[in-house]
Amino acid sequence: MNKEIHVSVSILAEDFSALGEVLKTVEDAGGDSVHLDVIDGVFAPNLSFGPVVIKGIRKLTSLPLHAHLMIQYPEKYLEDYINVGCSQIYFHLESEGNPENIIEKIHEMNTKCGIVLNPDTSVDTVKPYLKQIDSVLLMSVHPGFSGQKFIPDVLSKIKKLRKISSEIDIAVDGGVNDDNIDSILASGANEIITNSFVFSSKDRAKAVRRLKGLNE
């Protein structure tokens, strides 16, 4: 089945002293949501931001907020991120905790739930949870830092997952650009997470349309 392409724009590497301007750029470019990379310095080698900052972000944009929890113990903090306005929570299958409990807790708070798989994690590991979740996010870089190169092996993972389920939303995060977007979409992904490709483009709206596979 053909699924509508969704572009979620990460603000991880942007100027947080000008968040209003950054978020308006995302809106004006046609981004469908704001992707929030939450990193605790334990699960992944970086520190980003938490619920207090996201509460401020919620006031600055009407776009949906998707929280990508790159944290060691996601279950402990789910309510914090949902209560400040995140409408979708992604957690890593490689993190600590019982995935079924985490999924249940997220859905109990009327929030969408997605599972994230690191580049070295097999697609087979998510199969037991596919009927319980809304989406799977396949990392095409190693979590923690913006600006890494796309790992081509993720294409086969997208294809395999799409064969397993025609219904699940498949997101790809990391190193997506003009050279690989066609292969990503052709493999079956329908959500593209981006940062540098959009923000480094002279025409950011054109960049978003490109990620959606739209011809000019």
Q: Which residues are catalytic?
A: 37, 173
Phi, psi dihedrals of residue 212, rounded to the nearest 5° = -85, 0
Residue pair 71/77 in contact (Cβ under 8 Å)? The answer is yes
Joined tokens for residue 79: 């309510």
Please report which helix (H) or strand (E) contains residue 9, including its range: strand 6-10
- Both tokens of residue 9? 């724009």
**Owner of token pair 């401020």:** 56
Please answer whether residues 135 and 168 qualify as being in contact, where contact means their C-beta atoms are separated by less than 8 angstroms.
yes
Contacts of 135 (CB under 8 A, 6+ apart): 88, 90, 112, 113, 114, 115, 168, 169, 170, 171, 191
